[in-house]
Amino acid sequence: MEWSERMEQLYALIGHLVQLLALWWQQLAERLWLQREQLRLWLEQLGVPAEQSLIVLYACAYLLVTLLVVLLVWRVMRRRRPVTGRPAPQQPSIAAQDAAAVATKPVAGEATEAVTRMAEAPLSLFERMRRGLAKTHDALWGRLDAVLGRAERIDAAVLEELEEILITADFGVKTTTALMTALQQRARSAELTAEAVRAVLREEILALLRAEVAPLELSASQPFVLLVVGVNGVGKTTTIGKLAQQFKKQGRSVLLGAGDTFRAAAAEQLAIWGERCEVPVIRHSEGADPAAVAFDAAKAAVARKVDLLIVDTAGRLHTKVNLMEEMKKIHRVLGREIAGAPHETLLVLDASTGQNALVQARLFQQAVGVGGIVLTKLDGTAKGGVAVAIAAELGLPVRYIGIGEGIDDLRPFDAEMFVDALFAPPARSTSEQS
């Protein structure tokens, strides 16, 4: 019998007993009231005053009912107590159950191990890039494939739909116009097909991303000073920690400067990254002058002869004049202590902000001079086209992209691999391959 059924029976029994007790109590009270004179005389003989006899009668009745209830509960609990001496059935141990399951299903166990081994297999660099750009790929390739797949020929209506797809993928109006112009020029010279459209878009986007910009040469100066700027919340401190780890793996000595003295716990966050990467951090107390932090970090970098100094800065908007002046002061201090410093100013942008990231890049470039872009959070957005817009409209190289949360998911930007991941056909599932 199930536990719920037993409880229902117990509740029914208790309810029945309560009704019986209420009826018995009513009958008892009536009898006491009819025989109250006799009971009062009996109590007087026992020495109870006449004015308290009625109270004593009710107290005795209450004690009697309480005793009966206690006896009833004791009886019920005794009936539910298991009988001693009768051994309870033994359940098989967990080990025995596992052994039986393995013995009865060897094929399933082998299949599970095979799946686990496949899941633990390291992904190739291209596959990691492809997974990181999955949302942008779906927004671009998926919609392109849908439009081109149903079109019998590439006409003005189809080109208009393609233009809308590029704009909604955050390629920007200017970049989209350039891409559509290339498609129209190809259409004048030869008939456009679906494959030709994909090929033209791929070639033009790759050409825009391969801007003639000098690569990041850390050996150009010792120490090489890297200044990291951007607005709040884009992941500057995390980016600095990942960069420090990667450069240290390359055998370079790194020093970090915690120049973000404005945001609470920013220096502590960078110090945690320093401990994790085993990289020293120069820091001051919260609210200190960031230029003083930059000065001490530059002095320490020269004295310790490190290869790379990375300086963090407080998140700032281009509209905050005082913060932008503070940035210029940091520039002057670094340049006075180390010739040519900062040698590179990296602007960290959140890809999920789309065209707002392009606006930030344009205004920071005008205010402090930006040498390269770090585009973070690409794995969580379908607006990856903003990387093409930044390169095309501002001529700024995308130095690094973030396609995940791991340290190795901050990747040096490879334009060809980026475009291949965007235009790669959807991966076939296991069921389709079989």
Beta strand 398-402 pairing with 372-376:
parallel
What is the average pLDDT across 250-273?
Answer: 92
Contact call for residues 257 and 227 (beta carbons, < 8 A): no
With a cut of 60, say whether residue 157 has pLDDT above it: yes
257 or 99: whose pLDDT is higher? 257
Is 235 annotated as contributing to ligand binding? yes
The 8-class DSSP code of residue 88 comes to P
* Cα distances (angstroms) measured from residue 100 to each of 15, 115, 272: 47, 22, 48
Is 234 annotated as contributing to ligand binding? yes
CA-to-CA distance for 377 and 49, rounded, in angstroms? 91
pLDDT at 17: 73
Residue type, 335: G
The residue with tokens 């085993």 is: 278
Is 312 annotated as contributing to ligand binding? yes
Considering only CA atoms, which of 282, 269, 289, 287 is closest in space to residue 310? 282
**How high is the mean pLDDT of the chain?**
80
Is 314 annotated as contributing to ligand binding? yes
Is 257 annotated as contributing to ligand binding? no
With a cut of 60, say whether residue 101 has pLDDT above it: no
Three-class secondary structure of residue 110 per DSSP: helix
Is 15 annotated as contributing to ligand binding? no
Is 231 annotated as contributing to ligand binding? yes
pLDDT in tens, 160-210: 999 999 988 889 899 999 999 999 888 888 778 888 998 999 999 999 888
pLDDT at 65: 74
Report the range out of 36-45, 99-108, 330-339 with the highest average pLDDT.
330-339
Is 359 annotated as contributing to ligand binding? no
Residue 215 CA to its chain's centroid (Å): 32
Q: What percent of the chain has pLDDT over 70?
A: 76
Please, how many CA atoms are within 13 Å of residue 269, restricted to the half-sphere of its CB? 20
CA-to-CA distance for 345 and 302, rounded, in angstroms? 19
Is 143 annotated as contributing to ligand binding? no
pLDDT at 94: 44
With a cut of 70, say whether residue 137 has pLDDT above it: yes
Domain segments of the chain: what residues? Answer: 3-79
Is 335 annotated as contributing to ligand binding? no
Is 316 annotated as contributing to ligand binding? yes
Is 430 annotated as contributing to ligand binding? no
Residue type, 298: A
Is 147 annotated as contributing to ligand binding? no
pLDDT in tens, 113-128: 443 443 445 667 778 8
